[in-house]
Amino acid sequence: MQNHLESVQVRVVQGGNNKMDKLIGVIDEPVPGKDPDELDINVHTNSLIKFIEKTNTPITIGIQGEWGSGKTSLINSIHHHFEGDEKTKQIWINSWEYSLLSTPEEALLKIINRIIDELIESDPNETRKKNIKGGAEAIFKGALRVGAQVALGNAAGEVAKELLDTGAKSIAELRKQLSEVVEQMADRSTNPYETVVIYVDDLDRIEPKNAVAILELLKNIFSVPKCIFILAIDYQVVVKGLEHKFG
Crossing angle between the packed helical segments 155-165 and 208-221, to the nearest 10 degrees: 20
Alpha-carbon span 233 to 66, nearest angstrom:
8
Q: Hey, what amino acid is at 15?
A: G
First-to-last C-alpha distance (Å) of the chain: 33
Answer yes or no: are the C-beta atoms of 126 and 232 closer than 8 Å: no
DSSP state of 123: -
CA quadruple 21, 22, 25, 30: dihedral sign? positive
Alpha-carbon span 177 to 217, nearest angstrom:
16
Please write the tens of the pLDDT for every residue from 117-163: 888 886 777 888 888 877 777 666 655 555 444 434 445 556 566 55
Q: How far is it between the farthest Cα atoms of the chain?
A: 76
Would you put residue 70 in left (φ > 0), alpha (ψ -120 to 50) or beta? left
Answer yes or no: are the C-beta atoms of 68 and 116 closer than 8 Å: no
Answer yes or no: are the C-beta atoms of 54 and 227 closer than 8 Å: no
Alpha-carbon span 247 to 245, nearest angstrom:
6
Alpha-carbon span 167 to 193, nearest angstrom:
30
**Which of these ranges, 8-12, 108-112, 158-162, has the smallest mean pLDDT?**
8-12
Please write the tens of the pLDDT for every residue from 24-78: 444 455 556 555 555 566 788 899 999 999 999 999 998 888 877 788 888 999 9
Domains recognised in the chain with CATH numbers: 4-246 (3.40.50.300)
Torsion of CA 22, 28, 32, 35, to 10 degrees: 30
